[in-house]
Amino acid sequence: MKSESTENYITYHHNWYDHSDSRHPRIRSCSVHCYNNYFDGNAKYGVGVTMGASCFVESNYFRNCKYLMLISLQGSDDLSGGTFSGEAGGVIKSFGNIMTGQKAYTTYQENSTDFDAYEASSKTEKIGASVKAKSGGTAYNNFDTSNVMYSYTADSAADVPAIVTAKAGRVDGGDFKWQFNNSVDDESYAVNQALKSALSSYKGTVTAIGSGFKEDNSSAPVVTTSAVPVITTQPVVTIIPVTQPAKTTTVPVSVTPVTGANVIYASPNGGGDGKTMNTPHRCSYRDQVGTCGRHCLSSRRHI
């Protein structure tokens, strides 16, 4: 988080820090809630803040943790010779913790300049702006009493060791067990060679994590890999026959007018005597008989 400038909110709770020497956590710039953790034989320090970080340390159990809480370049960090590479400090708010066997712990109430944490009178107490880091001058941001905070119920610090050790590790504690020698390991942060050897030679027997699993001893399926044939697709050309309409040739017909004394010229709109083409007789196609009662030879063509 060293290069980040935006707000980050993180919670650490119900962890068992079993002889790990430090960084539980080491905080840069973030806002962190650290509650109900068991700090058990930590040779360097428990919680550390730098670069303007704010941390609320609540209802934890510290057993033989050398420096419970450190703020860079002040308080117990000065006693330890400086732990955080010269980075500016932050502010820690402490409430409801149980502490035994520590080398040093100084509250703001004891020393308002070189303090390790501000010891709050209640979990909801807001820290004033006058409580600042010696290096960097940043104040506590009171995130834990703002509307960003979640709902939770902390266990009593006295109950924390029993609660976290009962369920720590893999399911039912796992099949790897190790017992530290507190008289040596509480203060030593050198590599524990016996523990390293035991871990290196460990052969796990766990086949699943969880419950209700059944071991499958069947052979793995044989997978046959066949070459995938390459299919080249040629474009399909469909020929659609087109039928051209037949051409109709109109042959002019030469009509020779019928003449004679027995010919009657007729028309639906006629009104003459029917003796010439210019005076056609009126004729109806319905009965092919003219109004004069004579049969009209040309009526089929006119109607």
What would the pLDDT profile of 138-161 be if each residue is shown by its tens digit? 999 999 999 999 999 999 999 999
User: Does 128 have pLDDT greater than 70?
Assistant: yes
Q: 92: Cβ–Cβ under 8 A, 6 or more apart, which residues? A: 47, 49, 54, 55, 56, 57, 69, 71, 116, 117, 118
How sure is the predictor about 300, in pLDDT bands with cuts at 50, 70 and 90?
Answer: very low
The full 3-state SS of the chain, as one line of letters, equals CCCCCCCCEEEEECCEEECCCCCCCEEECCEEEEECCEEECCCCEEEEEECCCEEEEECCEEECCCEEEEECCCCHHHHCCCCCCCCCCCEEEEECCEEECCCECCECCCCCCCCCEEECCCCCCCCCCCCECCCCCCECCCHHHCCCCCCCCCCCHHHHHHHHHHHCCCHHHCCCCCCCCHHHHCCCCCCCHHHHHHHHCCCCCCCCCCCCCCCCCCCCCCCCCCCCCCCCCCCCCCCCCCCCCCCCCCCCCCCCCCCCCCCCCEECCCCCCCCCCCCCEEEECCCCEECCCCECCCHHHHC
Point out the least confidently predicted range of 31-45, 69-83, 153-167, 248-262.
248-262
Of 138, 125, 51, the C-alpha closest to 95 is: 125
**Distance between CA atoms of residues 87 and 56, nearest Å:** 20
**Distance between CA atoms of residues 91 and 70, nearest Å:** 9
What does pTM read for this prediction?
0.67
**Distance between CA atoms of residues 299 and 303, nearest Å:** 6
Looking only at Cα atoms, what is the longest distance across the chain?
Answer: 157
Q: Phi, psi at residue 54, to the nearest 5°? A: -120, 130
Q: Where in the sequence of the chain do the CATH 2.160.20.10 domains occur?
A: 9-168
pLDDT in tens, 219-245: 655 555 555 555 555 555 556 666 666
At 62 the pLDDT is 98
Instruction: Round the CA-based radius of gyration of the chain to a whole number and report it.
Output: 53
Q: Which two tokens stand for residue 118?
A: 């501000």
- CATH level 2 (architecture), domain 9-168: 3 Solenoid (2.160)
Span 45-70, average pLDDT: 97
Mean pLDDT of all residues in the chain? Answer: 82
